[in-house]
Amino acid sequence: MNSSIKHSPLTFIAIIIFAIPLKAFAQTDTLSESGKDNQDKTELSSQIHSLFCSAGFGSDMIYLGSTISQDKPFYSTGLTYAYKNHLFASLSASHLKDVSPYVAFYTLSFDYTHTFNSWFDISADLSGYKTAASLQERLFSDFAFLNLTTGFDWKLIYTKLSIGGLISDNSRGYLQIKNSRYFQITEFFNGKGLISFDPNINTLFGQLVKIETSTGTSKFGYSPPLRHFKKKATGTTESYSYKFGLMDFEFSLPFTFSYGNFNIEADPEYILPAYSNADYPSTKGFSFFLNASFRIL
């Protein structure tokens, strides 16, 4: 990969952050995902119950640095319930292009957020993924993921530190450090319309693997979270050792258009892996996600 491709995401994000004359807000003024982005926070906080519906499309579903849709485009639809803008429950169903059955897997997630002051907040979330039985060998087995996050608002940059654990047949831990900068534009449609940008860089740490053979060769790199390493019938013996280390860098530029109860969010992302493995290649390059949501209550 040449240097221009390596640095293009950073350059693009830098242009967005420093060159566009947008109005900047503290990160704690933003709301979390699943149909809650850029809704009026005071209005939501005054309501006990809120309900959102959503539908989305993506070029590839990336999870913990690995493609769980096997590089296939996906379509999803879901519902999110919010209680006092602190506790959220979401249910979604996803379809993969040219894959049967039509619903490849379901996702159920619970999320709790709490803001202590203008510069510090915490959140915890638990997500479960249920795959169709006929696709478990092809895609992934059922799994859950527990994540604890703290957020620090430095005014110029908002930092999220997340510690998570994968709960499955191949359980392991992850560490993510995300730095972002939130911008918002509201001066159109008589102040009712809103466009926001949240460019960010996420650094992912997790389990890496070293594969050694009886012939003396070794390979070191990415260890897919939802697949086991299997010995090949080549007459050689392979041994595996693992360590915790840097997996990849993820450059993302989510932007959202909101008008009243309606939101459209687009999220282009570029993944730059720190290591690669020829037998189990890491996810790299561009992906794109588009989602529309509507607040019902």
Residue holding tokens 């039509």? 102
Q: Kindly report, residue by residue over 76-106, the tens digit of the pLDDT.
A: 999 999 999 999 999 999 999 999 999 999 9
Q: What is the DSSP string of 220-231?
A: EEE--TTS----
Q: Can you give the residue range of the structural domain that contains 148?
A: 3-295
Write the DSSP symbol of residue 24. E
**β-bridge mates for residue 95, sequence order:** 75
Number of structural domains (the chain) is: 1
Report pTM.
0.80
Tokens 């730095």: give the residue. Answer: 179
- Over residues 20-36, the mean pLDDT reads 38
pLDDT of residue 68: 87
CATH number of the domain that 109 lies in? 2.40.160.40
261: which residues sit within 8 A by CB, 6+ positions away? Answer: 39, 294, 295, 296
Q: Return the structure tokens found at 257.
A: 């258009």
What pLDDT score was predicted for residue 248? 92
What are the tens digits of pLDDT across the range 2-18? Answer: 333 334 444 444 433 33
Reference 227, options 147, 137, 290; nearest CA is: 137
Q: What are the CA-CA distances from residue 33 to residues 46, 73, 109 (Å)?
A: 19, 21, 12
